[in-house]
Amino acid sequence: MQLKFFLLSSRPSQGIASVCFFLVIVLLVTDNVRFGLHLSSDSETFIRWSGLLIDSNFNLFDYYLRNQFISPPIFYTVPVFYIAFCKYLFISTWQQIYFISNLVFMVATIFLFKKSAELLGVRHTLVAFLLPFFLVSTDYLIWPHFLLTDTVFAFLVMFCVYSALLCTLTDQCNTLQFGIAVVLLLLTRPSSPPVVGAIFLYVLLSKEFPNFLRNRMGMFSAVLLLGTCSTLAYSYIMAASLNGDIFNKQINFLSNFVAYGVVIHDRPETFIAVGHSVGDISQLYFLRILYFFTPYVTSFSFWHKFANCVLLGLFFLGLLLWALCGYQSANYSRKLQRGSQLILLLSLFVAMYQAATVIDFDWRYRYPLIAPLILFSGISFEQALRELFPNRVAFGEKC
């Protein structure tokens, strides 16, 4: 009976998208389970910190005082508290519980991607086409089976993106739920401030978005201005630190990377010679932003390079279509416009923040952006289809 309904349905593409979602989830979960839970040096650090929290009888204030890490320990509260909770409650099986929760968060992230695409009016056939790209993401094939913060952080980022879209495009906004998600995001990773900043800026400006941001030239001008200001600010601060004019533990820690010309952490083949001038540091900063979006090094295997090229090719194709396909046309709905603005703002903020701090050896910090970037490509493809076939918009979408 259900099969007959599906075949006779006026929206069989929705069923195809659901089937694709199910198959992608099964394949990703199976692959991660096959490898089992892995621990890294960062995992050992989180385990040690969780022991410190347990020794403090789950008193967070006492724990914060006892943890003397270079980054404020408050930014790791959620994963450390959860690990401590699992260790305390499950004792011998806590690592398996954490592993299962990682897989749940991975599934939830892709589900929120699908829900966000539907909310924005991206047609189901496009959603079905985009879902398999999660299978070529090395991040989704690697990090869910590590005892790290990355998977829960990726989920929280996508949840905040979905909540921001829900609040600005519909009347279904749950302010309390949104606020809790943002707070949890801030307490999960030190790389959360640019995500929160981008989302809040989008929400604040979404109702009365400045007119100059409603066209391509305005968007490009805003990006150029923001990029120039951030580059100069970062370069002047780092130059002052290198010349001994600033004495701050965190800033001096980052300026040491600048002094060695570090582009990608622990990858000497990417290092460059850098002087103490603002111009030299600006060059390093700009190069880091480029490397953040093009994770390609000779030491990667052929298949790793191929997967990265496929995934990044999807995003760059989406960016090209976004730039070329009638940003102000009648077919470019308010939903598509807002969705592209949010994701571009988020991507730019995260890239600038990581370029100013550190880009990890394995590009772990791009992981939370994978789902939003695939969603951005879906928005761009949807716009291109509306330009080519203006009478065939997505189901239920009014331009």
One DSSP character per residue, 336-369 reads HHHHHHHHHHHHHHHHHHHHHS---TT-GGGHHH
| 128 and 206 share one domain | yes
Nearest to 95 by CA among 141, 147, 49, 32: 147
Looking at residue 3, its pLDDT comes to 45
Whether 142 is in a domain gets the answer yes
Q: Please report how many Cα atoms fall inside a 13 Å half-sphere around the Cα of residue 235, on the Cβ side.
A: 21
Q: Which residues pair with 146 in a beta bridge?
A: 38
Span 255-299, pLDDT tens digits? 999 999 999 998 888 899 998 899 999 999 999 999 998 877 777
Task: Show which of 239, 261, 288 is a domain's final residue.
Answer: 288
> Does some domain include residue 222?
no
**Cα(216)–Cα(323) distance, integer angstroms:** 7
Using CB atoms within 10 A of its CB, is residue 18 exposed (0-12), middle (13-18) or buried (19+)? middle
Q: How far apart are CA 6 and CA 371, in angstroms?
A: 28
Domain boundary among 288, 305, 326: 288
Compute the distance between CA of residue 41 and CA of residue 20 in angstroms, rounded to an integer: 36
Contacts of 343-346 with CB under 8 Å at 24 or more apart are 343/161, 343/372, 343/373, 343/375, 343/376, 343/379, 344/219, 344/223, 344/376, 345/198, 345/201, 345/202, 346/157, 346/161, 346/195, 346/198, 346/199, 346/202, 346/372
| Residue 58 identity | F
* Same-domain pairing of 115 and 262: no
Give the total number of structural domains in the chain: 2
User: Do 168 and 302 have their domain in common?
Assistant: yes
CA dist 2 and 371 (Å) reads: 31
Residue 38's DSSP bridge partners are 146
Phi and psi at residue 38, to the nearest 5°: -120, 150
In a domain, 223, yes or no: no
The whole-number average pLDDT for the span 319-338 is: 75
Do 284 and 302 fall into the same domain?
no
Q: What is the mean pLDDT of the chain?
A: 88
Are the C-beta atoms of residues 250 and 356 closer than 8 Å to each other? no
pTM of the model: 0.92
Whether residue 76 is found in the same domain as residue 94: yes
Q: Round to whole Å and give the CA distance between 106 and 155.
A: 7
The rounded distance, in Å, linking the Cα atoms of 265 and 272 is 12
Residue 398 lies in a domain: no
Task: Verify that 208 and 246 share a domain, yes or no.
Answer: no
Q: Which of 195, 178, 190, 231 is nearest to 369 (CA)?
A: 195
Confidence label for 249 from pLDDT (cuts 50, 70 and 90)? confident
For 166-192, the DSSP string reads: HHHHSS---HHHHHHHHHHHHTT-TT-
Query: In terms of residue numbers, what domain contains 18?
Result: 13-215+294-388
More confident residue, 281 or 246: 281
**281 shares a domain with 190:** no
- Give the whole-number percent of the chain exceeding pLDDT 90: 65
Residues 20 and 83 in one domain: yes
The answer as to whether 315 is a domain residue is yes
Identify the residue whose tokens are 């790209």: 133
Of 174 and 112, which is predicted with more confidence? 112
> What's residue 18's pLDDT?
93
Residue 5 pairs with which residues in a beta bridge? Answer: none
Query: Are residues 140 and 259 both part of a single domain?
Result: no
What mean pLDDT is predicted for residues 22-38? 97
Query: Can you tell me whether residue 84 is helix, strand or coil?
Result: helix
- pLDDT single digits (tens) 175-193: 898 999 999 999 999 999 9
Structural domain includes residue 394: no
Least confident of 68-82, 144-158, 324-338: 324-338
Q: Are residues 254 and 352 in the same domain?
A: no
The token pair that represents 173 in the structure block: 């906004």
Helix boundaries (H) for the chain = 2-8, 12-35, 41-55, 60-66, 77-90, 94-120, 124-130, 138-142, 150-169, 175-186, 193-206, 216-242, 249-259, 278-293, 302-324, 334-356, 367-388
For residues 262 and 153, membership in a common domain is answered with no
Has residue 137 been placed in a domain?
A: yes
Asked whether residue 259 falls in the same domain as residue 298, the answer is: no
Give the end of a domain, one of 270, 288, 306. 288
**Does position 253 have pLDDT exceeding 70, yes or no?**
yes
Reported as a single tens digit per residue, the pLDDT across 41-66 is: 999 999 999 999 999 999 999 999 99
Residue bearing tokens 């499950």: 90
Spatial CB neighbours of 126, under 8 Å, sequence gap ≥ 6: 117, 378, 381, 382, 385
- Domain assignment present for residue 393? The answer is no
